[in-house]
Amino acid sequence: MRYADGPTSEVEVLVEAPVERVWQLVSDVNLPSRFSEEFTGARWIHAGPALGARFVGRNEHPALGSWETTSWVTRYEPYRAFGWAVSDPENPSATWWFTLEELPGRVRLQQGGRMGPAPSGLSIAIAAMPDKEERIVARRLQEWTRGMQATIAGIKALAEGRP
């Protein structure tokens, strides 16, 4: 898969908790930093969470270094969906989201991310080694998937009252 294809990864888990509790956790932009090896936290620029609100996120990666990005909340449907676009809401370098589906006595929680279409830090590696683009993208998607799996497992544990 090539970067221009908008590579996407999505993970899901069933959470034995009320949708209100799960929503409280997924709409906290700092919470994933508790479980992520890369995301180290965020701060709201505008009061959030709310549609159109902005926040600055901080990340750190052994191969990419440290960086900050500004993100815009592009999906805000309480108890259903929370998502944001990185760098530019019209042409993001990445898009991230959580979706919640209320089921009897539980919630189906999904987290997903899509690369591009705008360039990102990954674009530098691809430009330096264009013959390895598919491998670079696949490896990055694996990192994203592991990070999202850790995040939703952490949210599940917190929502269900486990440490």
pLDDT in tens, 81-138: 999 999 999 999 999 999 999 999 999 999 999 999 999 988 988 999 999 999 999 9
- Tell me the mean pLDDT in the region 148-154: 97
- Which three-class secondary structure state does DSSP give residue 31? helix
Q: Are 13 and 152 in contact (CB under 8 A)?
A: yes
pLDDT, tens digit (0-9, with 9 covering 90-100), for 26-42: 999 999 999 999 999 99
Cβ pair 42, 28 in contact under 8 A: no
How many domains in the chain? 1
Distances (CA, A) of 127 to 18, 120, 130: 46, 11, 5
CATH code (residue 9): 3.30.530.20
Q: Tell me which residue range forms the domain holding 131.
A: 3-159
152 CB-contact burial (10 Å; exposed 0-12 / middle 13-18 / buried 19+): buried
Task: Kindly report the average pLDDT of the chain as a whole number.
Answer: 95
pLDDT at res. 55: 97
